[in-house]
Amino acid sequence: MAVMIRPLAAVFAGEVLGVDCRRALSPDDVAAITKGIDDHAVLVLRDQMLSDAEQLAFSLQFGVLERKPGSASIQGTAPGPIHFRTEQEARALGPGLADFSNVDRAGQPLARDSRAYMFKLADRLWHSDSSFRAVPATWSILTGHAIPTWGGNTEFADMRAAYDAMDPRWRAEVEDLVCHHSQMYSRGRIGFDELTEAERIAFKPVRHRMVRVHPGSGRKSLFLSSHAGVIEGMSIPEARLLLSELAEFATQPRFVYSHPWRLHDLVMWDNRSTMHRGTRFDPAEPRDIRQTRLAGDAMTIEQAA
C-alpha cells in the first residue's frame, strides 16, 4: 500500500496511512514522508508497537541522530544523565533514544521534589527542540509506551503560518533580529535557577536568527522558543516583552494542533517549522514516551536574510 497522508487539522498536521514503522521503508516511502513533513510539519502514525531498536532503525532512514545528551562536552547539555536524573531515576533505553517519560528505573513516577521532575516541568512551555544548541535539531520522533488517563497532549504551533499572518510592519521589525537561546532562560521562567557552575557553562547561550527559511519548503517561519531570552541590540525588558508578544501571537488556536495521545502512537515533527509543548496530566500516572531526534543541518545564524 502506498503512503497516504490525510490532514488532521485545517492548517497543518497529517496522519500517515499505509506504513509499518517496524519494516524498512522503500525510497519512495522515505520521499513521501519527507515531503509530508515539509508540507504538514507534524505527522502522526497510529498503532506502531515499536521496540527501542525499531524506533532507532526507523529514525535513521531520515537522517543522522543528534548526539545523545548526558555529557558536558555537548554544548547545551548538563553533565550527567538526561534531565538531571539520578542513578535511580535514569532508565537504560536503547542506544540513541532519549527518555522523556516521568518514570524512574523502577517504573514509578518521578518524585515531585526531584530535580528531574522540576526540570521537565518546563516542557509545558512552548519551545523548539535543541534551540539551545548552535545547530538545532531538524526532526523529533516520539513514541508513546504508556499514556495517562487524562491530559498529556502534545500541542504544536505552526510557525510558518504565524509568520505569514503577521502584519508586514511587524515582519519587517523582526526579520533580521538575532536571539540568544539557553536552557537557563526556559528553566528560569519556572524558577528552576539553582545551577552549578558546570551546568551554567554547559548551558552557555547560543545565537539564532528569529526568522529562518526551511530548506525543503522554502517557507519562512518564526524561530521562537521558551529557550530564547535575549535579543541582540535590545534591553532585556524590551526583548522579553517582544518574545512574549510574538509567542502569544504565534500560539493562537488558529495556528495550533493539539495531539491527544493513544497507546503506541508515533508522532514526528519538524522543529524548523513548529513550536510544541506538553500539557498537564496526573503526575502520579506513568507517561512513558521515548524520543529520537535528528541532527540539525545548519546554523541558523549563517542563513542569508
pLDDT tens-place string over residues 80-134:
667 889 999 999 899 899 999 999 999 999 999 999 999 999 999 999 999 999 9
Q: Identify the domain containing residue 167 by its residue range.
A: 4-302
Confidence of residue 74 (pLDDT cuts 50, 70, 90): very low
Report angle CA 138, 256, 249 to the nearest 5 degrees.
95
* pTM score above 0.85: yes
Structure-derived torsion over alpha carbons of residues 74, 76, 79, 83, reported in degrees to the nearest 10: -130
pLDDT tens-place string over residues 33-65:
999 999 999 999 999 999 999 999 999 999 999
Residue 72 has pLDDT above 50, yes or no: no
Per DSSP, the residues of 112-134 read: TTSHHHHHHGGGGS-B-TTTTSS
Alpha-carbon torsion 181, 187, 188, 193, what sign?
A: negative
- If one counts the domains in the chain, the total is 1
Provide the β-strand partners of residue 207: 180
At 83, which CATH number? 3.60.130.10
Residue 305 has pLDDT above 60, yes or no: no
The pLDDT value recorded for residue 79 is 54
pLDDT tens-place string over residues 150-189:
999 999 999 999 999 999 999 999 999 999 999 999 999 9
Average pLDDT of every residue of the chain:
93
